[in-house]
Structure 1
Amino acid sequence: MADEPALTVDVISDVMCPWCYIGKRRLEAAIARLPDVTVQVGWHPYQLDPSLPKEGKDRATYLNEKFGGRANARSIYDHISEVGRETGIPFAFDRIEVSPNTKDCHRLILWARADGLQDEVVDLLFKAYFEDGADLSKSETLVAIAEKAGMQADLVEQLLETDSDLDKIEHQVDRARLMGVTGVPCFVIDGRFVVNGAEAPETLAAAIMHARETRSFVPEDSLS
C-alpha cells in the first residue's frame, strides 16, 4: 500500500565479519523479492574483537592467535569464499594485511545516517576490506570511502581526529550484548522479530512478510 509506513530492519553487524557482508547481500535479495513492501534498513554496531588496538593488528599474527595460523583458518575461509561466490561477493582474504579495530568504521556508519548514506558506506567498507584488502584502521581509508559515498570528506577527516561519538558506539555495542546478541549479523525486524545469522533470502523475506502481516502499530522506538 502506498500509504503504508516503512517496515524497519535494524542490522547489527561488524564490518570485519564476512558473514555480515553475505548477510547484507542476502537481505538485499530478500527485499527485492518484496516489491510491494517498503523497507527501511538501519545499521548498528557490534565488535567481534574490541580488544584489537586502534591501529589494528598484523593479519598473520591475528590469524595465528585466533586459529593457529593461516593454514587452519583456510578451511573456514574457503567455505565462506564458496558462499560468497554464490552471493556475488569475490572475497579476497589473502589481500588483507591488517585486522582492524572497527570502532572508527562504526563512527563513519553512524555519521552517514544523517546524509541517508549508511547503506552506501557499509557496502564500500565491506568491499574495501574483503575485496581490496584495504586497511580500515587508517583514517585516510575511511575518508576516501566517505568521499566516494558522497559525504563531506573534510568534515569526516576532522571528526576522526576527535573522540566524537566514541562513547555512543561503545554504548550501542554494549546495548546489543545486553539484548543477547553474541554473533552477527543480527536482523531486528519491525522492532519485534529477530533473525540471527546470514539466513537465506527466502527466510529473511518470509520474516519481513510475517512482520508486515502481524503489524498492528508503528513501533515507537527502534535501535537508533
Structure 2
Amino acid sequence: MSTLKPLQIDVVSDVVCPWCYIGKHRIESALALVPDVPVKLNFRPFFLNPWVPREGISREDYLTQKFGSVDAYKGIAGRVVAAASEEGLVYKPELVARQPNTTDCHRLILWAEAIGKAPEMKQRLMELYFRDGGDLTDVNVLVQAAADVGLDADDVRKRLATDEDVARVSADAQEASEKGISGVPTYVFAQKYAVSGAQDPNLLARAIRQVSAEINAQAAE
C-alpha cells in the first residue's frame, strides 16, 4: 500500500473534441508508465461549442459555421484521423450527422462519477460519437450509453428529462474558462499546474512523477 499522497489530475475536456478523445487515451497511457504513483483522475466539463443549442444542429451547418464549409474541415479531419489511428482509436468524421450540445453528456459523466465509472462513461460517449457517428442529441442513445457502463436506464431517462445538474455542469465549465482554459484537453495537476494539449504520454508521465514528488515533499515538511 502506497504511503504517498495521491496526485489530483483534473482533465478538462469535451466529448466532441477529437483531440480530447486522443488526449484521454494519452493520459491513461501516461498513468500506465507510472504505476507506482497514486493518482486521482477527474474529468471536468468544457463546452467546445457553447453556441450550439441544446437540441443540436446538423453537422453540415456546424462545419459551415465553424470552418467556412464542409470541405474546409476535410484537411483538418485527415490529420486528426491519422493521429487517432496512431493511438489505436477510430475517428470516422463522415459518419457524424448531427453536432450536439454536450450538456447532457457532461451530466452523464457526472452521474457516472458517483459509481466510479466516469472514465468509462466518457469513453463510451466518445466512441459513439467519433467511431460510430452516434447522435448524442438522442435521449435513447444517451440512456443506452449510460446503461452500458452500469447506470440504471430508467433512472437516467427520468433525470435527463429534468434540469438536474445543468447549472452545476455549466458552472464547472465556466470556472474552467475563468481560470484561463481556452483550449482542450487541459490537464491540471494538483490544482496548480496546467498542461494544455494532447501531449505525448512520456511527457505527461514525467509531469505526473515530478508534481507528485513535489506535493509529497511539501506534505512531509
Greater mean deviation of Cα atoms: 62-71 or 168-177:
62-71
Q: Are 2:203 and 1:199 aligned?
A: no
Partner of 1:217: 219
Gaps of 5+ in 2: none
Residues in 2 aligned to 1:67 and 1:41: alpha-carbon distance in whole angstroms: 33
Deviation of 1:198 after TM superposition, in Å, equals: 0.6
| More off after superposition, 2-11 vs 39-48 | 2-11
Contact 2:6 2:212 in 1 (8 A): no
Q: 1:49 deviation in Å?
A: 1.0
State the TM-score, normalized to the length of structure 1. Answer: 0.94
Structure 1 vs Structure 2 CA RMSD: 1.2
The answer to whether residue 30 in structure 2 is matched with residue 21 in structure 1 is no
**Identity rate, percent:** 39
Larger CA deviation: 46-55 vs 158-167: 46-55
Counterpart position of 2:163 = 163
Aligned match of 1:31: 31
Quote the Cα distance in structure 2 between the aligned partners of 1:150 and 1:6.
Answer: 26
The runs of 4+ residues in structure 1 deviating greater than 4 Å are none
Q: List alignment gaps of at least 5 residues for structure 1.
A: 219-224
Alignment of structure 1 residues 95-174 onto 2, 5 Å: 95-174=95-174
CA deviations on 1:125-180 (whole Å, 9 max, x unpaired) are 11000000001111111110110001122111100000011111111111011100
Work out the CA distance in 2 between the residues paired with 1:217 and 1:58: 51
| Aligned partner letter, 1:84 | A
Partner Cα distance (1:206, 1:175) in 2: 27
1:61-100 CA-partner distances (Å, limit 9, x unpaired)? 1111111222110000100011111111111110000010
SS of residue in 2 equivalent to 1:217? helix
The one-letter code matched in structure 1 to 2:74 is R
Separation in structure 1 between the aligned mates of residue 145 and residue 108 of structure 2, nearest angstrom: 9
- The aligned amino acid for 1:217 is A
Distance 1:113 1:58 in 2: 30
Distance in structure 2 (CA, Å) of the matches to 1:217 and 1:17: 36
Distance 1:113 1:200 in 2: 26
Q: Distance in 1 between matches of 2:208 and 2:144?
A: 34
Q: Amino acid of the residue matched to residue 141 of structure 1?
A: V
Q: Matched residues in 1 for 2:52 and 2:192: separation?
A: 33
More displaced stretch, 193-202 vs 65-74: 65-74
Structure 2: distance between partners of 1:102 and 1:38:
30
Cα distance in 2 for residues equivalent to 1:120 and 1:36? 22
Give the letter aligned to residue 108 of structure 1.
L
How many matched pairs? 218
- TM-score, normalised on structure 2? 0.96
